[in-house]
Chain A
Amino acid sequence: MKAVSIFLVKVLVKQFYIINAGFFLFLFFFFFGVVNSGTLITYHQSLILGMLGSPIFMAVVWAAWLLYNVKCFLFCTGTIKAAENSYLFSLKAISKVKQLLLYGFICTLLYLPVLLYAVFVVDMAIKKSMLLTALLVSIYHLLMIAVSTIVVYNAINYTNITNRFKKILDAVTAAYSIPIGYKGFLTTHIFHSKKMAFAVVKIFSILLLSVSFIRNGDSFDADFFSIFFQLILTAHAMLVFYCVHFFETQLQFSRNLPLSLPAIAGMYLFTYGILLLPELAFMLINNHGNLPIIHIIILYGTAAATLFLYTGMLYASGLNMERYMFLVFISFIMIFFLQKSGYHFITLLAIVSIAAAVFKSHYYLFEKE
């Protein structure tokens, strides 16, 4: 059992944290980096108290925990279903109880970041004599782990259920399918295979925009919004990674096609333009005179150009996540100060020029490591 659990930790847990390193780095920065170190504890205490005091806030947090759990078990089922991991089905030979214990252990490790934060929530609830809330939060997390354990167990043991579900899904998508031009390949990939990541990024984006445009709409703070805008773009770094990774693996054959460099750059920009439409629509609908319309359009262009800059950085870093996140962090600082200068159109032009230069100089030299 010990050898099998070590093996599963390598295949599922370690891979999950490597692939999602950018996502965790971003979360860590968001929760611990944006707040002054002196007020960090007070900030989190008031955040947890807010959570315990407001059922709506608590519901939002529970939804976020649920999404994270879905992300964890989808990663597991995706890995199990991958052709190269078909050997994992030999786990069927282990008894049901042992399998459940094994997968429970793996799911707990994947869920650990949420679980650690939940410990502080429960601790605070007990200190405030909110014993029922503490109990409910504890049960909720146990349920989360139990659900993902069962999902992983089913993925290993009942492959037909997945196939039947997939067949229905394929039939539905086939009925509503439209021909896809190559400009739509990347967008389709995100909607087809990265739905959950897309949903998480969009929920996060809309939450941050809601704070700026709705909650603080009467006293709109441009500096505050600028930080939020950068955080939204940083969150999109993950989607950019998925796009480039997909292009360089499953669309690698297109390097043998007579597609010019501007056409490929155009495909990436078209994709980012589509992916950023929810943010554009949200800002236009909820603006109420806080920002001139032209400024919002420039922000939309800046966002698409920044994602294109991330694309060039991915090519420059050889799709290496560590190097990529470092470059994203550098660009975060650079663009923040450029925007702070107030020359928004010049900022847009500067990002487009740098992005085009980085992309041009690295695209044909790229080879997946």
Chain B
Amino acid sequence: MLSITHFKKKYASKQIPVLSVPELILDAGIYWFKGENGSGKTSLFKSIAGLIPFEGTIAVNGLNIIQQRMAYTKLVNYAEAEPLYPAFLTGIDLIEFYKQTKGGSFPAALFESLGVEKFMHQKTATYSSGMLKKLSLVLGFIGNPQLILLDEPLIALDVAAVEALQLIILQFSRQGVSFLITSHQPLSSELMEVATTFLLKEKTLLPQIL
């Protein structure tokens, strides 16, 4: 499913190394990425999502992020840890934008269980951090993704929303969608069948033996 080779990420301005992953090949499943603040989790996720440049090769289902970018970005979705959207847009503007570009299906169950409908016609400038998080999660599931990257998906969510999200992740996972998740909060072992947990330490990625 995901293949990473000779991956290196440095801070653009100072050329300070952030993370190095010589090789990582993952089959379909749910993967939990742990690490201290600043260990490079978000940089890795942003690189896989195509938000920032990096050295090396990243491919999903054989599609290379650089050579087949359009097809690749249809397969890979990303929900940020701290989403930021233009203040003048409403939730529905963004949902329509994503539906238009990503195509595919709409995660109606997640949309309903997170209660996004209640505030989707308001401008994002009026959203609380929890509302922004819920919107970003719905956007992260739009289309026909094969890999969804969820950066700290549980922060700012209420208890009911956390449970609803974990159920949706399980449901999507059973349909063959893979997840890479970073979370400082524990993931429910009853609801999530985590294949492997990785630890980002000393600027590299290590499988964590539990």
Contact = CB atoms under 8 A, between A and B. Distances in A.
Interface in A241-266: 246, 249-260
Interface in B73-103: 73-74, 76-78, 80, 83-89, 93, 96-98, 100-102
B51 interface: yes
15 contacts: A180-B88, A182-B101, A185-B86, A188-B88, A189-B88, A192-B88, A253-B85, A253-B139, A254-B101, A255-B50, A256-B73, A257-B73, A257-B98, A257-B102, A258-B70
Interface string A188-213: 11001100000000000000000000
Contact of B78 (A188, A253, A258): A253
Given A258-B102, A365-B53, A369-B13, A251 B123 contact: no
A253 B85 CA distance: 9
A260 B70 contact: yes
Given A250-B86, A253-B80, A366 B53 contact: yes
B53 A258 contact: no
Interface in A312-365: 318, 364-365
Interface residues of B, number: 34
Nearest to A248: B51
Contacts of B85: 250, 253
Contacts of B44: none
A367 B12 contact: yes
B70 A256 contact: no
B26 interface: no
Nearest to A166: B125
Contacts of B71: 258
B52 interface: yes
A179 interface: yes
Contacts of B93: 179-180
A341 B4 CA distance: 52
Contacts of A188: 86, 88
A256 B50 contact: yes
A246 B73 contact: no
**B-side interface mostly:** mixed
B49 interface: yes
Nearest to A247: B86
A174 B90 CA distance: 10
Q: Which 9 A-B pairs have the closest CB atoms?
A: A367-B12, A369-B13, A257-B101, A258-B73, A192-B88, A256-B49, A250-B86, A258-B70, A255-B51
Contact of B97 (A170, A182, A249, A365): A182
Contacts, number: 73
Interface string B120-153: 0001001000000000000100000000000000
Contacts of A179: 93, 96
B88 A318 contact: no
A369 B52 CA distance: 11
B58 to A, nearest CB: 13
B180 to A, nearest CB: 14
A255 B45 CA distance: 13
A182 B73 CA distance: 17
Contacts of B123: 170, 174
Nearest to B83: A253
Contacts of A249: 84
Nearest to A367: B12
A254 B50 CA distance: 9
Nearest to B77: A256
B96 A369 contact: no
Nearest to B9: A367
B44 to A, nearest CB: 14
Contacts of A367: 12, 52-53
Contacts of A260: 70
A256 B76 contact: yes
B83 A192 contact: no
Contacts of B126: 170
Contacts of A256: 49-51, 73, 76-78
B72 to A, nearest CB: 8
Contacts of B74: 258
A315 to B, nearest CB: 11
B30 to A, nearest CB: 20
Contacts of A365: 53
Contacts of B70: 258, 260
Given A180-B89, A249-B84, 11 more contacts: A185-B86, A185-B89, A189-B88, A192-B88, A253-B80, A253-B139, A255-B49, A255-B50, A257-B97, A258-B69, A260-B70
